[in-house]
Structures are given as C-alpha cells and as structure tokens.
Chains A and B, each alone.
Chain A
Amino acid sequence: AQSVTQLDSQVPVFEEAPVELRCNYSSSVSVYLFWYVQYPNQGLQLLLKYLSGSTLVKGINGFEAEFNKSQTSFHLRKPSVHISDTAEYFCAVMGNTGGFKTIFGAGTRLFVKA
C-alpha cells in the first residue's frame, strides 16, 4: 500500500519569493509521483510527474520537483512565485504494480501575498 504525507497544510509566502512544498511518501513498491494544483471551485490539473530517469522534473508554470528515493521525498519548488500561484497543491503517488490507483496527500494551501 502507498501513502503520502504533505508536511505543511498552509504555506504563506510573499510575491517573487521562492517556495518549497514538501511531500514524503511510503510504498513497498516502486512508484510514480505527481503534483497537481487545484484553483478555487475547479478540479485538479497536473503540474508535473516523475516516472523514471532524471530525478529533477520540470512542470508547467515554472514549477519543478526533485525525486529523492533515499529520503522518499518529492518536494515541489518554484524560484519566484506570483499572486496567481495561490491555490491548493496535492502530491500523489501511484504504485507501479498495476491497478493504477492514485493516492493523494492532504494538500498544501499556498497563499501568495503582495
């Protein structure tokens, strides 16, 4: 079974500052990892995903994430945030043993202040 822990429920940050949203996972098998973003009253949309290969993954809107197998982490980063990045961010894991069930973390609310 897989599980995901997002270490911060809320992250306030000033505009143009860097941000890191933390995600740790546990799994007995190899996994695929995802970050999704949810804007108010919307569904989730994919920011980026890690399947294999390079541990640094670049996504949309200037976000990137680094897969660290030894620390079982997949932290999301952006060097300079904008007001429009204010949203809820979800880390998710899918086990690669088939079934394609995706488990989501509880979410991190990013609040960008002017």
Chain B
Amino acid sequence: KAGVTQTPRYLIKTRGQQVTLSCSPISGHRSVSWYQQTPGQGLQFLFEYFSETQRNKGNFPGRFSGRQFSNSRSEMNVSTLELGDSALYLCASSFPGDGTEAFFGQGTRLTVV
C-alpha cells in the first residue's frame, strides 16, 4: 500500500512569490491535515480537510489556504511568501474515525530567500 506522497520534496522561493504544495493521501483515507514544522515552533496545525471541506483550521494568516479534490488529494497554497514561512510542511492522512492515527508524508522543505 503506497504511503502519503508529498511533492515536491524541496522548494526554494523568493519573498513575495506564491507556492503550491501537493499531497496524495493513502488510498481510502479521506481526511488530510497539514502542519508546519519549524525548529522554534514545533508542529503547528494549519488545517484539515475531509470530503473536500475544510473541517478544522489553525491560527495562520489568510495567506495560507488549501483545498481537497474529489479523489482526496490535497493542495496547500501560500501567497506573498515571507522569510518566516521557511519550514517543513507535513501532510498527514487518516481514515476518518475516532482515535485513528495520522499517517505522514516525508514533507516538503520550503526555503524562502
């Protein structure tokens, strides 16, 4: 069974640009969550999608957005990039249900210069 796939693995962008990251969940998983990981802040929850609807949202500015497609694949977009957006962005998928664990991709390392 294929795991969670995130593309690209590495990305370098310039301040002010926008970026789109992609996540393909495990087959059958309908919930996809996104996290930002930085050395100082740890894992910060961005948002969670289920059946193409955003079900939960973290405390991030509106520059961070996402969406989920009918095949459960998800994308997140960051507009007007800032240096502080440099981080590892992790996607996790899960089979919806109480107490089900998240399965993580290897992440996309975004560097903003």
Interface residues of A (CB under 8 A from B): 32, 34, 36, 41-46, 49, 51, 90, 94, 96, 99-107
Is A104 touching B43 in the complex (CB atoms < 8 A)? yes
Interface segment among B70-78, B79-87, B94-102: the answer is: B94-102
Is A49 touching B101 in the complex (CB atoms < 8 A)? yes
Interface residues of B (CB under 8 A from A): 4, 31, 33, 35, 41-43, 45, 48, 50, 55-56, 90, 92, 94, 96-107
CA distance A104 to B50 in the complex (A): 20
Contact residues in A for B55 (Cβ distance below 8 Å): 99-101
In-complex Cβ contact of B45 among A42, A49, A103 (8 A):
A103
Q: Looking at chain B's contact residues, is the secondary structure mostly helix, strand, loop, or mixed?
A: strand
In-complex Cβ contact of A43 among B50, B98, B105 (8 A):
B105
Is A106 touching B42 in the complex (CB atoms < 8 A)? yes
Given contacts A100-B48, A102-B102, A104-B35, contact A44 B90 (CB under 8 A): yes
Contact residues in A for B103 (Cβ distance below 8 Å): 46
Q: Which residue of B lies closest to A97 (CB)?
A: B98
Is B42 touching A44 in the complex (CB atoms < 8 A)? no
Contact residues in A for B97 (Cβ distance below 8 Å): 100
7 A-B pairs with the lowest CB-CB distances in the bound complex, closest first: A43-B104, A106-B42, A104-B43, A32-B99, A51-B99, A101-B56, A44-B104
CA distance A9 to B106 in the complex (A): 22
Q: Which residue of B lies closest to A107 (CB)?
A: B42
Is B106 touching A49 in the complex (CB atoms < 8 A)? no
Q: Which residue of B lies closest to A34 (CB)?
A: B101
Contact residues in A for B42 (Cβ distance below 8 Å): 90, 104-107
